[in-house]
Amino acid sequence: MTLKASLIIAASGLLLAACATKPAPTQDVTVSLEAISCDQNFTRSRAKPIGLDPEKPLTIDFEVQRSSPCKLDGNGNKQLYEVVALPRSTGPYLVTVASPKIGGSTFAPTAVTLDGAEQVRQIYDHDAFLNRGNSLMAIFQAEPEDRYLVISSNAGVAGDVKTEIQTVISSQSHYNAGFGTTSTMYFGREQQGGYTLSHTGKVSITTRAAPDRSISDNAGRSATTKP
Amino acid sequence: MTAIKRGAVLALALAVAACAQQPKSIPFVKPVGTEIQTIGLLVPDMPKQASASLATSPGKNAANAVAGAGLIGLAVGLVIAGVDAGIESNRGDSLQELLDAQSFDAPDTFTTALQASLEEKGYQVVSVPRSGQRQRGTERFQPTYTAPAGADVDAFLDVIVEGYGYGAASTSSSAPFRPVVLVETRLVSAANKSVLMRDDVVYNPMGNGGLQNRVTIPPAPQYSFADFDTLESAPEKATEGLDEALTKTAETVGTLLR
- For position B187, which CATH number holds? 3.40.50
Q: Does B178 touch chain A (CB under 8 A)?
A: yes
Nearest to B255 among A127, A132, A174 (CB): A127
pLDDT at B20 (0 to 100): 39
- The better pLDDT of the pair B158, A227 is held by B158
Structural domain count, chain B: 1
Q: How far is CA B239 from CA A189, B99, B166, B187, B242, in A?
A: 24, 6, 10, 30, 5
Residue B246 confidence class, pLDDT cut points 50, 70, 90? very high
Strand partners, A93: A142, A209
| A163:B15 CB<8 A | no
Q: Does B21 touch chain A (CB under 8 A)?
A: yes
Q: Which of residues 76-135 of B touch A (CB under 8 A)?
A: none
pLDDT at B69 (0 to 100): 59
- Domain with B250, as residue range(s), is 3-55+104-255
pLDDT at A227 (0 to 100): 23
Residue A183 confidence class, pLDDT cut points 50, 70, 90? confident
**What span, in angstroms and rounded, lies between the C-alpha atoms of B89 and B136?**
17
pLDDT digits (tens, 9 = 90+) for B108-158: 999 999 999 999 999 999 999 988 655 555 557 888 899 999 899 999 999
> What residue of B is the nearest CA neighbor of A220?
B140
pLDDT at B59 (0 to 100): 64
Residues in chain B within 8 Å Cβ distance of A132: 25, 211-216
Give the mean model confidence (pLDDT) for residues B31-60.
86
Query: B79 in a domain, yes or no?
Result: no
Fold exhibited by the domain A24-159+197-211: Jelly Rolls (2.60.120)
Query: B127 in a domain, yes or no?
Result: yes
pLDDT digits (tens, 9 = 90+) for A35-58: 888 877 788 888 999 999 999 999
pTM (two decimals): 0.83
The residue type of B202 is: V
Residue A8 has pLDDT above 90, yes or no: no
Residue A9, C-beta contacts closer than 8 angstroms, at least 6 positions apart = A1
Give the mean model confidence (pLDDT) for residues A192-219.
89
Distance (Å) from the alpha carbon of B128 to chain A's nearest alpha carbon: 18
**What span, in angstroms and rounded, lies between the C-alpha atoms of B50 and B58?**
23
